[in-house]
């Protein structure tokens, strides 16, 4: 799954959640077009110390073998982060990607890390992953297959 990828617009439904960093300077997130946010199932922005809760279901993006939701992640200084996904009743799968570019209808990125069961049997964890300030990242949260749906919490620390 590692390597360069492209997401094209497949729909027009957009659900956006904005988060702000309450401790220190706020990161500047990329202004992704609404069509790209919808096609990539971007659910919000996260930085260190933040978390998001959501529900994975059949209304989310479809990767061909599982559903997923995406979060844009930024750091204000170079640092290692832990990304944790705690699902309720399903097997988590996490990817981290670096956004390389985007247009009005496409998002280009390179997968730079992935994890299945990094903490224990069903939780996802990408540990001590080095992120650079000034770069834009995606955390793609999903399950292993279509049966893996339900509530989850995603944390960046």
CATH number at residue 45: 2.60.120.380
pLDDT of residue 16: 32
Is the pLDDT confidence value at 8 over 60?
A: no
- DSSP code at position 134: T
Worst-scoring range by mean pLDDT, 9-13, 51-55, 148-152?
9-13
Average pLDDT over residues 116-139: 88
- Residue 125: strand pairing partners: 84
Helix (H), strand (E) counts: the chain:
1, 11
d(CA 122, CA 83): 14
- Count structural domains, the chain: 1
Q: What is the pTM of this model?
A: 0.83
pLDDT of residue 25: 83
Q: What value does the mean pLDDT of the chain take?
A: 85
Q: Which domain holds residue 106?
A: 3-156
More confident residue, 22 or 70: 70
Collapsing DSSP to helix, strand or coil, 85 comes out as: strand
Is the pLDDT confidence value at 18 over 50?
A: no
Express each pLDDT in 34-90 by its tens digit. 999 999 999 999 999 999 999 999 999 998 999 999 999 999 999 999 999 999 989
Query: HSE of 65 in the Cβ direction (CA atoms, 13 Å)?
Result: 4
Q: Which residue has the tokens 């049966």?
A: 147
pLDDT of residue 63: 86
């Amino acid at each position: 799954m590692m390597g360069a990828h492209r997401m094209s617009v497949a729909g027009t439904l957009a659900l956006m959640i904005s988060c702000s960093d309450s401790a220190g300077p706020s990161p500047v997130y990329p202004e992704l077009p609404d069509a790209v946010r919808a096609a990539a199932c971007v659910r919000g922005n996260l930085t260190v110390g933040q978390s998001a809760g959501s529900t994975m279901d059949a209304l989310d993006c479809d990767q061909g073998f599982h559903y997923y939701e995406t979060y844009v992640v930024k750091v204000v200084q170079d640092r290692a982060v832990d990304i944790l996904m705690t699902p309720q009743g399903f097997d988590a799968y996490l990817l981290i990607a670096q956004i390389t570019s985007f247009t009005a209808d496409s998002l280009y990125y390179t997968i730079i890390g992935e994890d299945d069961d990094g903490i224990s049997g069903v939780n996802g964890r990408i540990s001590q992953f080095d992120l650079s300030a000034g770069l834009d990242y995606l955390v793609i949260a999903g399950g292993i297959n279509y049966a893996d749906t339900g509530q989850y919490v995603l944390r960046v620390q």
